Amino acid sequence: MRRVEVCPYNEEWPKMFHQEMIKLQCIYGSQIVTIHHIGSTSIKGLNAKPIIDILSVVKDINEIDKFDDQMKANGYEPRGENGIPGRRYFQKGGNARTHHIHIYQQGDVGIERHIAFRDYLRSNNELKNKYGKLKEELSKQFPYDIASYIKGKEQMVSEIEKKALSWYRSNKQ
């Protein structure tokens, strides 16, 4: 059974991202446009599940499935689109999950959503702390119920995402 664990920010998370980024660059080579550390582990000071979320932007999403065997050899489980059309998703670590890889083709709207969310929380300590506190409370309330944990965050995530996209787009110009 998968335990929902939220812990204080860990200074090792950026290093863990970097190690995995190098592996992804070796696997996908010239398909890679850029790789971003996203999710809560990418936001210094934010309480998070200790799972490194990585967003890889590639030239052609249709080429990505050809690398599944190499991803498996590196401990990843290919999950296809996993509910989000146009994305490829991989997870590592089984029930003791350590990494999630989200791969999008350059130009996909999902990329901006993830980057905006991350950057907005990085720039807003009050909201970051409020979000971290909610995650911590939910993990204690639902220690073995990931679906309820996620559902409990939905409203706040949706509100943050809307503000983040508006903020990101206005600061991008």
Residue 38 · residue 66 · CB < 8 Å = no
Residue 132 · residue 47 · CB < 8 Å = yes
Query: When comparing pLDDT for 7 and 95, which is higher?
Result: 7
Beta pairing class for 52-58 and 76-78: unpaired
Q: State the greatest distance between any 2 C-alpha atoms of the chain, in Å, as a whole number.
A: 46
**Residue (of 171, 81, 89) closest to 124 by Cα position:** 171
CATH of domain 13-172: 3.30.460.10
Cα angle, residue 45 at apex, residues 44 and 47 outer, rounded to 5°: 115
Q: For 39-61, what is each residue's pLDDT tens digit?
A: 999 999 999 999 999 999 999 99
Question: Residue ranges of the domains in the chain?
Answer: 13-172
Residue 68 has pLDDT above 90, yes or no: yes
pLDDT band at 2 (very low <50, low <70, confident <90, very high): confident
Q: Which residues partner with 52 through β-bridges? A: 99
Per-chain mean pLDDT for the chain: 96
Mean pLDDT of 22-30: 98
Residue 3 has pLDDT above 80, yes or no: yes
